[in-house]
Amino acid sequence: MGLMKEFKDFALKGNVMDLAVGVIIGAAFSAIVKSLVEDIITPLILTPVLKAANLENIKDLTWGAGVKYGNFLSNVISFLIVAFILFLIIKGVNAARKKDEAAPAAPPAPSNEEKLLMEIRDALKSRP
C-alpha cells in the first residue's frame, strides 16, 4: 500500500500537474504557430520566389537524379520562421514582465515601536 500512496503523492504534486498543463498548452500553441507559418507566412514569402523559379511548390526542387532537397529546404525555412516567431513572442512576454517588475514596492510603514523611537530621538535632539 505504501507504493501506491507514494505514487499518488508524486502524480498529484503541483510540479507534475503544472508540467502536464504546460505540455497540453504547448501542443495547442504549437498547432497555432505551425498554422501561422505554413498557411500565412511561408506562402507570403515563398510565393514570389517560387514564381520566379517557375515552380509551384518548393518540395518540387530536385538535384541530379532524384535528390529532393526542396523538402529539406521547406523544413529548414519553416524551422527558422517558427524560431523567429517564438523569439518575438518570448521577447514580448519578457518585456511585459520587466514592466511589472519595474514598479518598486512601497516601503513598509514604520511600526509603532519605530515611531516611538523616532519621537524619542527627535526629543533628545531638541534638548540643549
**DSSP string spanning 51-83?**
HHTT-S-GGG--BTTTB-HHHHHHHHHHHHHHH
56-to-34, 60, 70, 71, 77 alpha-carbon distances in Å: 21, 8, 12, 13, 16
Please identify which residue in the block is written with the cell numbers 503523492.
Answer: 9
Q: For residue 121, how far is the Cα from the chain centroid?
A: 52
Q: What is the mean pLDDT of residues 112-128?
A: 87
Q: What is the grid cell recorded at 106?
A: 512601497
Fold of 2-103: 1.10.1200
Give me the chain's average pLDDT, please: 79
Would you call 37 exposed, middle or buried from its count of C-beta atoms within 10 A (0-12, 13-18, 19+)?
A: buried
pLDDT at position 1 is 64
In 3D space, the residue among 74, 69, 73, 82 whose CA is nearest the CA of residue 31 turns out to be 82
pLDDT at position 14 is 64
Tens-place pLDDT, residues 46-77:
778 777 777 777 766 777 777 777 778 878 87
Given a contact cutoff of 8 angstroms between Cβ atoms, the answer to whether 61 and 49 are in contact is: no
Question: Is residue 13 scored above 80 in pLDDT?
Answer: no
Of residues 1 and 72, more confidently modeled: 72
pLDDT at position 40 is 83
Tens-place pLDDT, residues 15-56:
777 777 788 888 888 888 778 777 887 778 777 877 777 777
Q: What is the mean pLDDT of residues 84-90?
A: 83
- Indicate the pTM of the whole model: 0.47
